[in-house]
């Protein structure tokens, strides 16, 4: 089961969504879609049509920059990170 | 007892102000997780607040609250352009308007969406496929910074399928079939730049209809204009104003000849001319203009007001409200004769709307 870490800006949008959770998924996109089933609209916050990650959203799988198609291992760590920007 | 509810959309979320007497205002917010708000309105039919918002990180959504802002939900289900639709990118939802039991939403790139379930799901109405000028207004190289795309939706109060929209920098359009076909409504407008297209290519900033929807006023990039035939033809009425440029405008709810506008310096700054804050009023359909300054900063007021930054309520003695792009909110309850600052210091204000709630 992959270990998913989410940025704090998502929790206020989806009641009950934790910062960290385990998830069974083959790719990053499958993991996001799995969360979308439990929290409808979740995918739209991270993914734009294409599909593609939104411009200021980054994903790291096992500490390396990944994308929606990046495959997940049985014990992968996935960090979803919102870019530090703005004022 | 009725109360007035002001919705103040800002670059850092939505604020809700309430007052029973239009003097003392309570302030709640920021709502919508401090996402930038482009327009917020209260639907008089359902009592629901709708806000068009776009986060730089998390994309666009329509936020909604059925309890005057105490609790919120958001949705963007169906708001987006199919990948096969010419590669259009949706950078933001820029306008939202409930009318006749449905919710219309404008976006950049220019497109129109509708919701018939109270903002839970949306479907695409049009991206103006095949319309003259579409490639130009969707070309990032030809857009101004902060482009809003479809920047305004103006529903007819009685005819469900008739409404007007503005495509920023290009045209006012009218539809009478719910958005399937569009007619440019720019006859009589001026443009001080080369005309690439005959019927479009006019920089329409703001269109404010009178209650009868035959009289309309328009603040254009170049000049103030009036229409007496629901936008089919326009006549310039700039003479007497300090500049021909501005964004915000409001019509009197009970007098079609009375109209308010905030002229701005047309240069790069786009702030109040000479730093003197003023709202200008006509009581004769634009034949003459008077500055309204009592209570507004008389000097060093280098502030701007954006296109949705002014509104008027529908009371017998209507109240007038405007917010600046640097976060000051001003109100008048005597038709502009005197003004006071209300609410506090806000983030930059993008949208001001008002409703009377029982």
Q: For residue B148, give the nearest of B101, B91, B65 by alpha carbon.
A: B91
Q: What is the mean pLDDT of residues B14-24?
A: 97
Q: What's the pLDDT at B143?
A: 81
pTM of the full structure:
0.96
SS3 for B213-248 is: CCCEEEEECCEEEEECCCCCCCEECCCCCCCCEEEE
Can you give the pLDDT at residue B144?
A: 77
Q: Is the pLDDT of residue B41 over 70?
A: yes
Nearest residue of chain B to residue A15 (CA atoms): B73
Name the nearest CA neighbour of B304 among B319, B290, B289, B325: B325
ipTM: 0.93
Residue of B nearest to A44 (CA): B76
B80/A46 touch (CB, cutoff 8 Å), yes or no: no
Find chain B residues with C-beta within 8 A of A12's C-beta. 33
pLDDT tens per residue across span B253-268: 999 999 999 999 998 8
Cβ-based contacts of B59 with chain A (< 8 Å): 44-45, 48, 54
Predicted local distance difference test score (pLDDT) of residue B82: 84
Work out the average pLDDT over B103-132.
96
Lowest mean pLDDT among B1-15, B51-65, B128-142, B334-348: B128-142
Among B30, B56, B58, most A C-beta atoms within 10 A, so best to mutate, is B58
Least Cα separation, residue B82 to chain A (angstroms):
7
C-alpha–C-alpha distance, residues B137 and B69, integer Å: 35
Predicted local confidence at residue B86, as pLDDT = 67
Give the per-residue pLDDT at B236.
98
Task: Note the pLDDT tens digit of each residue in A11-48.
Answer: 999 999 999 999 999 999 999 999 999 999 999 999 99
B231 in Cβ contact with B164 (< 8 Å): yes
Give residue-wise pLDDT tens across range B266-315.
988 999 999 999 999 999 999 999 999 999 999 999 999 999 999 999 99
Burial call A31-59: b when 16+ CB within 10 Å, e when fewer: bbbebbeeeebbbbbbbbbeeebbebbbb
Q: What is the pLDDT of residue B83?
A: 74
Average pLDDT over residues B336-356: 97
Distance CA B213, CA B111 (A): 24
Residues A19/A5, Cβ–Cβ less than 8 Å? yes
pLDDT at B345: 96
State the average pLDDT for chain A: 95
């Amino acid at each position: 089961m992959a270990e998913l870490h989410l940025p704090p800006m998502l929790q206020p949008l989806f009641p009950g969504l934790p910062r960290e959770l385990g998830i069974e998924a083959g790719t990053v996109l499958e993991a996001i879609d799995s969360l979308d089933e439990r929290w409808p609209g979740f995918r739209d916050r991270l993914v734009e049509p294409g599909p593609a990650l939104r411009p200021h959203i980054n994903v790291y799988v096992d500490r390396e920059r990944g994308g929606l198609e990046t495959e997940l291992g049985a014990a992968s760590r996935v960090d979803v990170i919102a870019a530090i920007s703005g004022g | 007892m009725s109360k007035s509810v002001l919705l103040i959309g800002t670059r850092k979320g939505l604020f809700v102000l309430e007052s029973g007497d239009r003097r003392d205002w309570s302030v709640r917010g920021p709502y919508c997780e401090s996402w930038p708000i482009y327009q917020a309105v209260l639907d008089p039919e359902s009592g629901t607040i709708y806000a068009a918002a776009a986060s730089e990180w998390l994309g666009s959504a329509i936020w909604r609250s059925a309890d005057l802002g105490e609790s919120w939900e958001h949705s963007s289900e169906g708001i987006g352009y199919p990948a096969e639709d010419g590669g259009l990118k949706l950078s933001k939802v820029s306008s939202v308007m409930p009318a006749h039991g449905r919710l219309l939403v404008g976006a950049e790139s220019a497109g129109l969406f509708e919701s018939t379930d109270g903002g839970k799901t949306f479907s695409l109405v049009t991206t103006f496929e095949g319309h003259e000028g579409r490639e130009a207004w969707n070309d990032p190289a030809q857009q101004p910074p902060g482009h809003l795309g479809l920047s305004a939706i103006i529903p007819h109060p009685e005819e469900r399928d008739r409404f007007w929209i503005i495509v920023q920098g290009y045209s006012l359009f009218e539809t009478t079939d719910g958005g399937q076909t569009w007619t440019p409504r720019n006859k009589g407008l001026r443009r001080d730049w080369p005309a690439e297209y005959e019927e479009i290519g006019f920089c329409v900033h703001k269109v404010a209809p009178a209650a009868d929807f035959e009289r309309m006023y328009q603040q254009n990039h170049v000049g103030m204009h009036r229409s007496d035939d629901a936008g089919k033809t326009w006549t310039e009425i700039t003479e007497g104003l300090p500049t021909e440029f501005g964004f915000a405008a409001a019509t009197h709810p009970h007098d079609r000849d009375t109209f308010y506008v905030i002229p701005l310096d047309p240069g790069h700054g786009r702030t109040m001319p000479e730093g003197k804050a003023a709202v200008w009023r006509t009581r004769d359909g634009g034949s003459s203009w008077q500055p309204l300054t009592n209570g507004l900063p008389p000097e060093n007021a280098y502030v701007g007001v954006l296109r949705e930054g002014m509104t008027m309520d529908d009371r017998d003695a209507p109240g007038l409200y405007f917010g600046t792009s640097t976060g000051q909110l001003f109100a008048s309850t005597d038709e502009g004769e005197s003004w006071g600052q209300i609410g506090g210091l806000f983030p930059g204000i993008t949208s001001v709307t008002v409703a009377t709630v029982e």
